[in-house]
Structures are given as C-alpha cells and as structure tokens.
Amino acid sequence: MDAPSTANTPPGMRARSARRALVAGSVGNFIEWYDFGNYGFFATLIAANFFSPTQSSDIESLIEAYGSFAITFFCRPLGAVLFGRIGDRVGRRPTLITALLLMSFSTTAIGILPTYAQAGGLAPLLILLVRVIQGLSAGGEFGGAVSVVTEFAPRGRRGLYGAWQSFTVALGLLAGAASAAAIVRLVSADALRVWGWRMPFLAAFPLGLIALCLRLRLEETPSFRHAQADPSRGIVVRPRPGAGEVLATTAIGIGRVMGWSAAGYTLLVVLPSYLHATLNTSLREALMMTVLANLGFALSILPAGAASDRYGRRAVMLAGMAVVVVLALPLYTLLQSGHAPLGIQALGLLVTGAAVGLVAGPGPAMLSEMFPTSVRYTGLGLAYSLSNAVFAGSAGLIITVAIKITGNSNIPAYYLISTGSISLIALATLRGDAHRHALRD
C-alpha cells in the first residue's frame, strides 16, 4: 500500500490531507522558480549592475552573471543532501518550513542589494552569497515537496499529483516572465536599469508569508510516519539502503532527467538573454517569446502527469524527449531567420515548450518511485539537483562561452540534442508498468 498508516482514516479526511499537501508542497516550488526565472530574464541588467564597473552588459559581465548562476546551482546538491538527510530522519514538514524561510529571505534580498556603483567589489560577493543561500534552500525544497505530494497522493494519481511540482515550475517561470515583461513595458529604460528590475524580487516577501501559512498547516506524510513506526507494534520496515545503492540509483535518475533540465533552462529561462545578446532582439520581444515557450510548457504538464498514470511514465516521457531532440535545430534556425513570420516562430516555441512539459509532468513521480521512503527525500532531491546543477544551471554559461568561442548561434540546439539523446537512452530503461506499483517502503 502507498500509505499503510492511512488504512483506518476516513476517505474524506485522506482527500483533504492530500489536497492540503498538494498546495503546501507546491507553493515553495513556485517561489523558487519565480526567482530563478527572474534572474535569468534580467541577466543582462544584473550583469551590468553587479559585475561591471562601467554598468555595461557586455559579454564578459554576462558570463560572470551566468557564472554566479551556475555556482548557485552547484549548491543545490549540497542542499539536497543536507535537507534530505534531515527530512528523511526528522520529517518532511519541519524541513520544508526551514527551506521555505531561507528561500524567501534570499529571493527578497536580491531586490535590496547594493550595486557595483554603490559598493564596488563587494556587490558581486554579496549577490553570490545570497545566491548560495538560495541554492542550498532550493536544493532542499524539491525532494521534500515531491516526497510530500507523492506520499499523500491517492492510488493511481501519483503522476498527476507529482506533476504539480513541475506545473508550479511553469507557473513560477510564467509569473516571472509576466512580471518582467510588465516592468519592461511600464517603466523607462533608465528606470528599468536603476530600480525597475528589483521589483519582481521584492514581491517574494509577501509570497513567502502566504507559503509559510500554508506549510504550517501541513501534516507529516503517512509513509514517513509508517517508516518511523515502533517495530514492537509489529510493523516491519525495510532496512535503509546502502550508500552504493543510493548513488547508483541517483546516477540513473540523473540520466533520465538531464534532457529535461537542459531543455527547461535553455528554452524557458536562458532564451531571452540569448535572443537579446546574440540575435539582437529587443528585450521586450525576447521576453514575450519566452512567455510563449513557457505557456506551451505549462499547458502540457498536468495532462502529461495524468496520462502517465494511465499509459506509464516511460511512454509519455520518451515521446516528449524525442520531440525536443527532433525540433531543437529547426526551432533555433527559425528564430535566427529574419524572414520567418512571427506566428510560425510562436507556434514552434509553443510546441517545443509543450514537449518539455511531457517530460516534466511525469518526472517527479518517476523519481519518487525510484527510492524507498527512508532515503526518498535525499535520493530524488540529489538526482534532480545534480542534473539541474550540471545541465541547467550551467546552460547559460556553457552556451554563452561556446557562442563566443565558435561564433555559432546554433549552439543551444546542439546542447539540447546531445543532452536529450542521453536521456532517451536512460528513459528507455524504465519499466513500462512502474506506475502501477506502490511506492517502496
């Protein structure tokens, strides 16, 4: 059974607990990706304000800004291990509350940090420190949130419940893109450079307060309570797996989600800076095109999660990853074309974004099903955060440096094709009926 300790709980109470867990578990993810999205959308302005003494958004300062972005992502695996070990031993609920508080603080802090013109060389160090804290808390967020929603999920709906974690990624990115586009539209270019870019980050404070209220009402998951049960009561729990087994499973998980990580960031976050800095597209138009890609992503996630409950994680995720690999080069060729109609470009972005959603929807449930309860928070969080650190957080840096060295503007497409091809191989090893089995205890 997925939740042995709920056997004697009335169905109505189980349903309410599941819905509460779904909302409380997903809200932190929304704040996390709202912040990461805004950092990516405003990368050129952040580069000019924090990494350039002359306040210019040249390629060198942009590389430095993406470097701090990548370093932050590499803190996420450390956060996944730190928070994961606590969450697997102390409980999901208190660990997620702590991660949320740190995340909300660090996101809000970006909106009040002094710039290079105000603090000199201290400015890039301060923003790096804040991003490190954000990375640690974000690393502890995903594993716990996915554990909560999948361990509370009703039988046969684990894929749909897990998909809400990816859906809040889309909502966070869409909210970030929409707020960025609104700021760009409402304020002058000078005001945007000086203070306008700060406003979306400051909005994280009230969002964090709302999320905290929801998390304080969260119950501990049935699976964790069962795993912590007293053996004298006749409850037998499988011994905690060894480090070697956890690491091997984590490596497989990384292979399965690396294409999702790379495509998600390359298409949904790095795209505006690529269009603005490489193709000389206006920032307003670049942000609007990114909104389209994120819209396609958002629209497909929940249907993909539900479809994976019926047809299996393997079939749905393979289909989505294959479409990304096939469309990557044609899409970027289309974006570079000076003659392609905007409607065709918009359709290409919508379809490719939707294909990423086919992978992201079933992904959380797939990762949750790979690990037993005693190491689920740590294991799935580590697989996801390592994949994101290497293939998402480094995407902007890798792509920008590669374009600078080669002068080839198709580098993002080649990046998607290479990472996606490896994921196709790893996803092919999934059992077709894995979605029908209970979570491992």
Residue 2 confidence (pLDDT): 43
pTM above 0.85, yes or no: no
Please list the alpha-helical segments (H only) found in 269-372. Answer: 271-277, 283-311, 313-336, 342-360, 363-368
3-state secondary structure of 339: coil
97-128 confidence digits (pLDDT tens): 999 999 889 889 988 999 888 888 888 888 88
CA-nearest of 91, 213, 140 to 380 is 140
313-362 confidence digits (pLDDT tens): 999 999 999 999 999 999 988 888 777 777 888 898 899 999 999 999 99
Q: What is the mean pLDDT of the chain?
A: 85
242-272 confidence digits (pLDDT tens): 878 889 999 999 999 999 999 988 887 777 7
Cα torsion 391, 395, 397, 403 to 10°: value is 120
Residue 11 confidence (pLDDT): 58
Other Cβ atoms less than 10 A from the Cβ of 420: the count is 25
Q: What φ, ψ does residue 238 adopt, rounded to 5°? A: -60, 135
pLDDT of 217 higher than 60: yes
Taking domain 7-227+241-432, whether its CATH number is 1.20.1250.20 is answered by yes
